[in-house]
Structure 1
Amino acid sequence: MSNAKDVAALAANHVSPDDLPWIPYFGDAKFKLLKANPVTGQNLTILKVPPGMQLPAHFHSGTVIVYTIQGSWRYLEDDWISRAGDIVYEPAGSKHTPQGLGDEDVITLNIVEGTLDYLGENGEIIARDNWESFLKRYHDYCAAEGIEPTDVTKF
């Protein structure tokens, strides 16, 4: 039989994106960090990209699931277009270059396992993100703006 402490540890955790700030990402792109999991290395973000913006090519060490909330986008390397309501599954080891399409912001929910290596023109790693770097950016932004950060690592 579980005691009250065990039950509390298994309680659902609610996060409202409205309570979280938009953090600068690349250029005019921004993200909201919903969850950073130090146990599994997973992070959940909402990404907002202006119309027509191209993000750097990147490589995934783990799987990524992207749910398109608003707008449309594609990978330069593929012939499909993701629109609101679509889900894109990116296998570990994949590399691609995202580009926003249309005339409205692209907003996606991203579930990322492992690291994202951003690639330069010659395939060299120019930046790396993971749950720790997203969490650091979030905390740094909150400190600079005088915002009390939400504990996005809480279970």
Structure 2
Amino acid sequence: MATQMKAPPSTKGEIVDVGYAYKHLVDRVSPGGRYIDAETDVDSPWVPFGDSAAIKHLAFDVRQGIFSNILWMKGPGVIGTHLHRGTIVMVCLEGTVRYLEYDWVATKGGLILEVPGESHTLVTEHPDGCKLFGWMQGPIEFYDDNANLIETADVWWMMNHYEEYCREQGIPINEKLYV
């Protein structure tokens, strides 16, 4: 029988110095923890992604090729066939969504895991569309109806998508998004 780990009780409502031996290095080079408000446009605006979708960018990590965002499909629609070159973790925040290539439908609170080398076509039939929180690593290749590569979206594409929109709209670029 596995031993069940229990969190130690604590009644101390203040910072506890754990005495980490390398804290001086962490303090010197770490960008530190941060909070990004995803409910409002204070930290990141909704950036159009085609005619009926938008992306709220939440994090860009150029060292690991990771980006995080919320994809909002504003009504029934399709995000074209794409191939992942890295791992994708998504949570359905609102509505429902599925891939044409699978027999499941993700609902609110559902976890979607994707592995490198898979291609699929994202579809929502929900009248209000869907919102998906994503934590993505590596490039995503988008293909047309004839399997011709039309765009590669990676951390650099996502940063440019965000920054160009901010410049066009006169919105300051939020440095908190860069980890």
What range is the shorter-chain TM-score in? over 0.9
Q: What are the Cα deviations for residues 107-129 of structure 1, in whole angstroms up to 9, with x where unaligned?
A: 01011110010011111111110
Q: How does 1:82-97 map to 2 (within 5 A)?
A: 82-97=106-121
What are the equivalent positions in structure 2 for 1:1-155 lying under 5 Å apart? 1-2=21-22, 6-7=26-27, 9=30, 11-17=32-38, 18=40, 19=42, 20-151=44-175, 152-154=177-179
- What stretches of structure 1 of length at least 5 have no aligned partner? none
SS of match in other structure, 1:56: strand
Larger deviation, residues 32-41 vs 6-15: 6-15
Give 3-state SS (helix, strand or coil) of 1:111's partner: strand
Deviation at 1:6, TM superposition (A): 3.2
Take 2:108 and 2:96, find their aligned partners in 1: how far apart are those partners? 7
Q: Residues 23-69 of structure 1, C-alpha deviation per residue, up to 9 Å, x if partnerless?
A: 01122100011001000001001010022111110000011111000
| Alignment check: 8 A CA contact 2:139 2:154 kept | yes
Give distance in 2, aligned partners of 1:2 and 1:60: 36
Q: Which letter does structure 2 place at the counterpart of 1:153?
A: Y
Question: What percentage of residue pairs aligned between the two structures are identical?
Answer: 21
Q: Check whether the contact 2:70–2:134 (CA below 8 A) recurs between aligned residues.
A: yes
* Count of residue pairs brought into register by the alignment: 154
RMSD: 1.5
Q: Is the 8 A contact 2:99 2:122 kept in 1?
A: yes
One-letter code aligned to 1:65:
V
* 2:77 counterpart SS class: coil
- What amino acid maps onto 1:111 in structure 2? W
**Relative contact order higher in (CA < 8 Å, ≥ 6 apart):** 1
**Native 8 Å contact 1:71 1:104 kept in 2:** yes
Kindly indicate whether the alpha-carbon contact (under 8 Å) linking 1:49 and 1:106 is maintained by their aligned counterparts in 2.
Answer: yes
TM-score (norm: length of structure 1): 0.93
Q: CA deviation at 1:4?
A: 5.3
Specify every segment of 5 or more residues in structure 2 that has no aligned partner in the other structure, as ranges: 1-20
1:71–1:101 contact (8 Å) kept in structure 2: no
1:65-112 CA deviation, whole Å, 9 max, x = no partner?
110000001111111100000001011101000011221130010111
Query: Which of the two has higher C-alpha Rg?
Result: 2
Q: Which AA in structure 2 matches 1:130? A: D
